[in-house]
Chains A and B, each alone.
Chain A
Amino acid sequence: AQSVTQLGSHVSVSEGALVLLRCNYSSSVPPYLFWYVQYPNQGLQLLLKYTTGATLVKGINGFEAEFKKSETSFHLTKPSAHMSDAAEYFCAVRGSGGYNKLIFGAGTRLAVHP
């Protein structure tokens, strides 16, 4: 069965510091992996996704993630945090069963302080 673990329900960084949000997954099929961002009381917006090919994936707003099969990880990074990055971030993996089901992690809330 597929599952996603996000290490750290809350992460706090200073403006300009590196952002690192951790995601580990388990999957019985080749994984398709996604990172979404959610601002308060809004829906989710796709940041980036990995399907096949290049393991370093670049997304919107300066975020990127690297797929590491040996570590079953898909950590999200951004070199320099902005105040506007404060939000909740969700990692997701495609489920099995022949349809486009997503299995979500519990989320990591990112705080950015001046």
Chain B
Amino acid sequence: DGGITQSPKYLFRKEGQNVTLSCEQNLNHDAMYWYRQDPGQGLRLIYYSQIVNDFQKGDIAEGYSVSREKKESFPLTVTSAQKNPTAFYLCASSIGGQGSNEQFFGPGTRLTVL
């Protein structure tokens, strides 16, 4: 089955700790994305990558970092610099980074800061 997997599903972090969220896809998609979802605010783009070894900041990149060393993997690190990290995080991918290609979403990771 082709798709996007995110792990873990639930994650708890103490204040001041960095944490890494995993995103893997076997769809052979070039482009990958990370979104943050907060109640009543829709989805906001954190980072995106159109190709391996390249990525760009989205609208709310402060306090986050990413890497794209492999086509199928796009991990997101939530650093201690992120002031309000408790949220639902969604990873997505698309065939290419242009035009009308729809994005396919993973099941999400819910991060809670204790």
Interface set of A (CB-CB < 8 Å, partner B): 4, 9, 32, 34, 36, 41-46, 49, 51, 90, 94, 98-102, 104-107
Contact of B40 among A51, A90, A98, A107 (CB under 8 A): A107
A45–B42 CB distance below 8 A: no
B41–A100 CB distance below 8 A: no
B85 contacts the other chain (CB 8 A): no
In this complex, how many residues of chain B approach chain A with their Cβ under 8 Å: the count is: 31
Which of B13-21, B64-72, B75-83, B90-98 lies at the interface? Answer: B90-98
Which A residue's beta carbon lies closest to that of B104? A46
B34 contacts the other chain (CB 8 A): no
- In the complex, how many angstroms separate the beta carbon of A28 from the nearest chain B beta carbon? 16
Q: Chain A binding site: helix, strand, loop or mixed by DSSP? A: loop
B90–A99 CB distance below 8 A: no
Report the separation of the CA atoms of residues A102 and B93 in the bound assembly, to the nearest whole angstrom: 12
Contact of A43 among B42, B96, B98, B108 (CB under 8 A): B108
Most buried by B among A34, A36, A102: A102
Which B residue's beta carbon lies closest to that of A48? B102
Q: What does the 1/0 interface line of B99-113 toward A look like (CB < 8 Å)?
A: 111111111101000
Interface set of B (CB-CB < 8 Å, partner A): 4, 6, 31, 40-45, 48, 50, 56, 58, 88, 90, 92, 94, 96-108, 110
A-B residue pairs, 10 tightest by C-beta: A43-B105, A104-B42, A51-B100, A44-B105, A104-B43, A99-B97, A106-B42, A32-B100, A43-B107, A100-B97
B100–A94 CB distance below 8 A: yes
- In the complex, how many angstroms separate the beta carbon of B23 from the nearest chain A beta carbon? 11
Most buried by A among B42, B56, B58: B42
